[in-house]
Structure 1
Amino acid sequence: MADFAIETQGLSKRFRSQLAVDGIDLAVPAGAVFGFLGPNGSGKTTTIRMLLGLVAASSGSARVLGTEMPGGVGRVLPRVGALVEGPAFSPFLSGEANLRRFDAADRGAPGRSRGARVAAALDRVGLSHAAGKKVHAYSLGMKQRLGLANALLMPRDLLVLDEPTNGLDPQGTREVRGLIRSLADDGTTVFVSSHLLAEVEQICSHLAVMRAGRLVAQGTLDEFRSAGDASVRVQTPDPEAARAVLAGLGLELEQAAGADAAAPPPGGALVVARLDERPPETVVAALVAAGVRVRGFEAAHASLEQRFVDLTGEGFDVVQ
């Protein structure tokens, strides 16, 4: 297996005067659950459509599962399951009948085992009970599940999911999250495009962030978590003395939430400062040596949410 399931170099797409995707270099490791993030309109779906050979790139190159696209689309797509821009089904056919039609259109899908594959796919996404129900009576979340079932009818080396939890209730969201993890455990590379930061943070091993058509960051989840400014948070009944010690160490003080409250919190006031490269334990030692009563101490990097806001200039929906 190639080291990367998806690789692009200088991949760009222009629609007349609009540069929708601007020279991106993606590297999606084989076997990863890769989160592809960015605000609406940042170029995520256009990128996916180029990767799948649905639209031609204006410049640059893309390799999917080790094969140049779109030239190798006939060899690549049978190994790829995709749910892009919401599923489209025949509304007056049942969920099972829809999946049978899609499976029959796949030249590599053996007809003898079609019924078993359709039943297994419906069971895997929790739709066995609604297999005979007409799709026009499905909720948005059920249609989304049916789209996932369609992507799973045959074994796949790569699964591309565009907003896979769209329309799902919390229980359905948890089930899809577990499904993605199980697919990754089986060796499938999962490429998830989303604007739901909380979901991506719980399932992804790697991330990339788009902004206005450009790739502004990519790496492992741990690298994203450790990037950005770090800070120390000291809870103490001696806030003025703590501020003096931190300032004496050359640390930039920040305003803590609730610092202007009339009554300090039960454990004392919270003092916050930006942390430089020094080890956090040296800050604790300096506070204790100065006689500051430390009742709580935390050293942490900026939240993942703040990291994305810094990269994109826009907020993300972090509500599950």
Structure 2
Amino acid sequence: MTDLAIRTDGLTKRFRAQTAVDGIDLAVPSGSVFGFLGPNGSGKTTTIRMLLGLVGATAGSAQVLGTDMPRGLDRVLPRVGALVEGPAFAPFLSGAANLARFDAADRHAAPATRRARVAAALDRVGLSHAARKKAGAYSLGMKQRLGLANALLMPRDLLVLDEPTNGLDPQGTREVRSLIRSFAADGTTVFVSSHLLAEVEQLCTHVGVMSAGRLVAQGTLDDLRRSGRSSIEVLTPDPDRAGAVLAGLGLVPDDAGADPTPGADRPAEHAAGGDDAIVTAPLGDDPPAPEALVAALVADGVRVRGFEVRRTSLEQRFVELTGEGFDVVA
């Protein structure tokens, strides 16, 4: 089994009659960028708080970096950097002074190297120019980056980031994404909690999907997409013949001969109508190559005017799993 940076077994948290996290079994591979995905209120932050020992679990167990939590809190936390529920800094202190203050509270941090480490962390997140500026005058994006700098004051094996691009403009979002990629390139496992589809698709190698406190899916991004429904669409004036050819190849059409829908997400010349129709067929586990399908259609006299493989997107798979919508706007 792949080494796991985070593992939970039946992890559960109840608040009186409400079950916020319901028996989840997380498996976060070491060295991955793991997207912890789900709408607001799905139990992501509560899970993170249990993993970091900030709240106790009602049932189940959790291991972080191979150590039982919260029993091994003193051994694990020095190896973990975290940004949870947004950064909070003293507004009257400079960015550098805020970091020095947090570092001084860490009994594992050496005072003799504090100034150098603060400077290096600020440089890593692109805030050297604002080191002496009061944190109260920082933009939201600068505060997010200062929070990341705080997580990097000491060498970390695991970074836990809760909504790291929350409230950022597009430029700030790109900067934070670039930073996270650089952390992963250095060998750090990054656990990113987010409700933003673009966040996860652009950053992560693995994903877990939460819904109403339950972990409804996890694995690599490709595995999650492949577990959904993919299909082909053929635009042709010969729908009956096309349907017969596809059926002969083991791809049974959904509705051969359906009229193209004007304004659908297809090239304009394909959706124009006329005598053309769209034949749709689901792809199985081991379908023929797209070029082989087109060649078979043409060889049988089918006039192919459009051909598309429609693969399940992460958003579609999320809706299939949870029945919920998704905030896709950063």
Distance (Å, rounded) in 1 between the aligned partners of 2:236 and 2:135: 60
- Structure 2 residue aligned with 1:271: 278
Q: Deviations over 1:60-108 (max 9, x none)?
A: 0000001000011011000000000011111111111100000111111
- Structure 1 residue aligned with 2:317: 307
TM-score by length of 2: 0.89
Counterparts of 1:28-47 in structure 2 under 5 Å?
Answer: 28-47=28-47
Question: Which residue of the other structure, out of 241, 251, 254, is the alignment partner of 1:252?
Answer: 254
Deviates more, 1:177-186 or 1:282-291: 282-291
- Structure 1 residue aligned with 2:72: 72
Amino acid at match of 1:169: D
Distance (Å, rounded) in 2 between the aligned partners of 1:135 and 1:143: 7
Aligned length: 317
Deviates more, 1:81-90 or 1:279-288: 279-288
Segments of 4+ in structure 1 off by > 3 A? Answer: 235-249, 254-258, 267-270, 280-283
Distance (Å, rounded) in 2 between the aligned partners of 1:231 and 1:27: 30
Query: SS state of the match for residue 111, structure 2?
Result: coil
Distance (Å, rounded) in 1 between the aligned partners of 2:215 and 2:259: 33
Q: Deviations over 1:265-299 (max 9, x none)?
A: 42465625132424254643442244222233222
Q: Deviations over 1:218-264 (max 9, x none)?
A: 00111012221111022345556545655785221389896246xx9
| Shift in Å, 1:313 | 1.4
Assess if the C-alpha contact under 8 Å between 1:87 and 1:147 holds in 2: yes
Assess if the C-alpha contact under 8 Å between 1:95 and 1:133 holds in 2: yes
Counterparts of 1:139-178 in structure 2 under 5 Å?
Answer: 139-178=139-178
Query: SS state of the match for residue 112, structure 1?
Result: helix
- Structure 2 residue aligned with 1:110: 110
Amino acid at match of 1:300: R
Amino acid at match of 1:291: G
Deviates more, 1:2-11 or 1:61-70: 2-11
- Structure 2 residue aligned with 1:98: 98
| Shift in Å, 1:217 | 0.2
Amino acid at match of 2:183: L
Deviates more, 1:121-130 or 1:52-61: 121-130
Structure 1, unmatched stretches of 5+, are: none
Assess if the C-alpha contact under 8 Å between 1:91 and 1:136 holds in 2: yes
Assess if the C-alpha contact under 8 Å between 1:259 and 1:270 holds in 2: no
Distance (Å, rounded) in 1 between the aligned partners of 2:298 and 2:283: 19
Query: SS state of the match for residue 210, structure 2?
Result: strand
Query: Sequence identity of aligned pairs in percent?
Result: 74
Assess if the C-alpha contact under 8 Å between 1:237 and 1:267 holds in 2: no
> What RMSD in Å do the two structures reach over aligned CA positions?
2.3
Counterparts of 1:212-223 in structure 2 under 5 Å?
Answer: 212-223=212-223
TM-score by length of 1: 0.92
Distance (Å, rounded) in 2 between the aligned partners of 1:296 and 1:68: 56
Distance (Å, rounded) in 2 between the aligned partners of 1:66 and 1:76: 9
